[in-house]
Amino acid sequence: MSDLLLSLLRFFNPETSHSLSLSLLKIAHKLHLYSLLGIKSNFKNQDSLVFKNLTFKNRLGTAAGLDKNADYIECLGALGFGFLEVGTVTPRPQIGNPRPRVFRFSKHNSVINRLGFNNKGLEHLVNNLKRSKYDGVLGVNIGANKDSNEEHRIKDYLICFRGVAEYADYITINISSPNTPGLRDLHSNNNIAELLNEISLEREKLNYKNPIFLKISPDEDQNTYQNIINAVIEYNLDGLIATNTTIQRDQSSSSSITDTQGGLSGRLLYDKSNEVLKQIADHSKQNLLIIGVGGVDSRDSFYHKLKLGSSLVQVYTGFIFRGPKLIKAILE
């Protein structure tokens, strides 16, 4: 996708721009126009990773939220990523929070969103997984519907787990979106134990052999992270994704950023997500596979995540701002 096209897309509001970008990418892929547009898919850096029964052809993947409904698997998969993660999916379709709900801060290569798990529901996503011909590693990120109370929230995760297990190369349990009221309460010691116990039992019932990851918030304290690590190990999950967006704001940020509610991603999340990544890596003592995400928008930031202890790295906001050029910058 050319620089000119990316510039033109920024004239639209961020949510419309996101949808248009992916739709144009899908059309370009179907018409075999990638090479004409200067989009590469084969890169020299194929530092593969074998984990359990999966082979990641390189360490760079997409974070959940980029393709919420698995509508764009083939066109994203053809860009050279080592793996894709789709979702977050909930059992029932939901429209999410009122618009406007995505805010772009181009000066900082950052975004604030309060989308609220808007998605077309489990049935739609699973149908797309069934049709997909993508031969890379494909993870599915699962969540809970907004109107599910505390009692039914865990049931939502189990419904999604059962629904995607046959088609997901790995499953991510997302407890860290800041835009679903009460969801982050699952980080607490009792709640996380109850959730992961139920997931572990479901895994046994389904004989699900592939990895399960837990995606965590960057806004917790040190004791909470230690309890989460202990729970993930106790209930035999395979790793952590660090981190989701932050609701905290640096005091030096402009008022337009501090006054906008929602989860902050992109460059302004980078340092905070790295602090949590390092803490998790130091405390897990290599017992868990860690996927680093948050603020990656260059080759240096990608490799720094690996240096801090992640085995794989995901991008989202950086890809929004730089497009396929970011993949080339990292993997070329």
Question: What is the set of active-site residues?
Answer: 177
Say if residues 307 and 284 touch (Cβ distance below 8 Å): no
Mode of pairing for the β-strands spanning 102-105 and 212-216: unpaired
Q: 109, 316 in Cβ contact below 8 A?
A: no
Q: b vs e for 69-87, b when ≥16 Cβ sit within 10 Å of the residue's Cβ?
A: bbbbbbbbbbbbbbbbbbb
Please return the burial class of 296, using the count of CB atoms within 10 Å of its CB with bins 0-12, 13-18 and 19+. Answer: buried
